[in-house]
Amino acid sequence: DVKVTQSSRYLVKRTGEKVFLECVQDMDHENMFWYRQDPGLGLRLIYFSYDVKMKEKGDIPEGYSVSREKKERFSLILESASTNQTSMYLCASNPLAREKKNIQYFGAGTRLSVL
Amino acid sequence: AQSVTQLDSQVPVFEEAPVELRCNYSSSVSVYLFWYVQYPNQGLQLLLKYLSGSTLVKGINGFEAEFNKSQTSFHLRKPSVHISDTAEYFCAVVGGRNTDKLIFGTGTRLQVFP
């Protein structure tokens, strides 16, 4: 089974802190994604990475950055956390293999509260 | 541009009743469609997908969906729901040509009552 692991289930941070959300996948997938999930808004893509050191902005990248130094790990960084970044953050990965193309595998999520 | 609309934010239903969760899409390229389920305090998992071929797609846990090109719909159905089906359901479409990104709908919360 594919396993996507997010390092924290719950995080509480203060406004202005630098926050790191970590995601690791164990299936050698090329693509990795960071979403935020808010009630009534569904999932919105923050950033996407299609290879090591490669990244692409999603729909709501403002206030976020990402890092992918190794294929299995994709980090989301909040440079200076703000209260409007309180949300559920979901990491996903997917392979390029044709038969599994576009099927994304998700971690359990990190619920971040910024106070 | 690709988009997905889930008109029902919540669907309450009694156990053993049938259910339909609606999804309409807009796409300017070949249509690949997905339904994902999110159980409480978990991430999303794939229920079923339509890539090509038969328009009736069967997924896990007794769910099925029908791709209707003329109505641009991909509604999810189950003939008899169980309490354990209580979850949030997301419809998604591939975000365009030559992309691996998905566009998700806003979700439908299915609440099954005994």
Whether chain A has a CB inside 8 Å of the CB on B3: the answer is no
Using alpha carbons only, what angle is made at residue A67 by residues A97 and A41, rounded to the nearest 5 degrees?
75
**Domains, chain B:** 3-113 (2.60.40.10)
Considering only the beta carbons, identify the residue of A42, A107, A109 that sits closest to B106. Answer: A42
**Token pair listed for A11:** 């995080």
- CB contacts < 8 A (A, B): 54
pLDDT tens for residues A12-64?
999 999 999 999 999 888 899 999 999 989 999 999 999 898 999 999 999 99
Mean pLDDT for chain A?
A: 92
CATH, domain range A4-114 = 2.60.40.10
> What pLDDT band is residue B98 in, cutting at 50, 70 and 90?
low
Which of B74, B97, B70, B90 is closest to B2 using CA atoms? B97
pLDDT tens for residues B30-68?
788 999 999 988 899 999 999 888 889 999 999 999 999
Residue A40 to chain B, least CA–CA distance (Å):
6
Q: What pLDDT, on a 0 to 100 scale, did the predictor assign at position B28?
A: 73
Judge contact between B1 and B93, C-beta under 8 A: no
DSSP 3-state of B62? helix
> What pLDDT band is residue A66 in, cutting at 50, 70 and 90?
very high
Sign of the Cα pseudo-torsion (B101, B53, B72, B65, in order) = negative
**Phi and psi angles of residue B54, each rounded to the nearest 5 degrees, phi first:** -55, 135
Residue extents of the structural domains in chain A: 4-114
**Token pair listed for B67:** 């791709």
**Token pair listed for A96:** 């390029």
**Phi and psi angles of residue A83, each rounded to the nearest 5 degrees, phi first:** -60, -30
Using alpha carbons only, what angle is made at residue A39 by residues B69 and A13, rounded to the nearest 5 degrees?
140
